[in-house]
Amino acid sequence: MTLRIGVLISGRGTNLQALIDACAEPAYPAEIALVISNEPGAGGLKRARDAGLPTEIVGHRAFGNRSTFEEALTGSLRRAGVELVCAAGFMRVLTGTFLDIWRDRVVNVHPSLLPAFRGLRTHERAIRSGVRFSGCTVHFVRAGLDEGPVIVQSAVPVLPADTPEDLAARVLESEHECLPLAVRWIAEGRVRVVDEIVRIDGADGPADASINPPVAR
């Protein structure tokens, strides 16, 4: 069985493109059933249409409150037979009501090593804090801001001369790898949430630690 995913976007859709590319591989166990944007001008809509994918615009400004907006989202996702929702650059906070309906079926990619640097301006804040590593996190979504069980993370170094744009570009490359990987594991039935911690069958941790700045040997 191929897992049917719905992708929520608000902007350029580069993580959507990563999923499009992954789903084009014959052995990939998921397919994109629907792309929804809350922004009519989102660049990701063109990416989806160029790939021949169904798209919908569910503009949040057309609704009087979050409840009716999310009811419209759920209706569209259900009509498309969506089984897993991927928030890929979706700039709306989802409420507990929506997330209860889709419990453990909504994943988000965030440009930091959660729980560090929740919210916006993650790269600027990482550089100002002096951390040596930043990265990205794919996680199941909970009602708190950027909260939920972590599925996969990727660490990238923060370099002395980095601007927020430099770090963002480095992290984005990791996002493009991690989101399709997390979806693959979920589609393969390898992912379980146990006491709010993700367990992945057959996935071992890395053997070595990374040090930044590197140690002369």
13 close to 47: Cβ distance less than 8 angstroms: yes
Q: Are strands 106-110 and 30-37 parallel, antiparallel or unpaired?
A: unpaired
Integer Cα distance of 74 and 19 in angstroms: 21
Selected catalytic residue, list 60, 110, 123, 139 = 110
Q: Is 110 one of the annotated active-site residues of the chain?
A: yes
Picking from 132, 139, 99, the residue whose alpha carbon sits closest to that of residue 118 is: 139
The set of catalytic residues is: 110
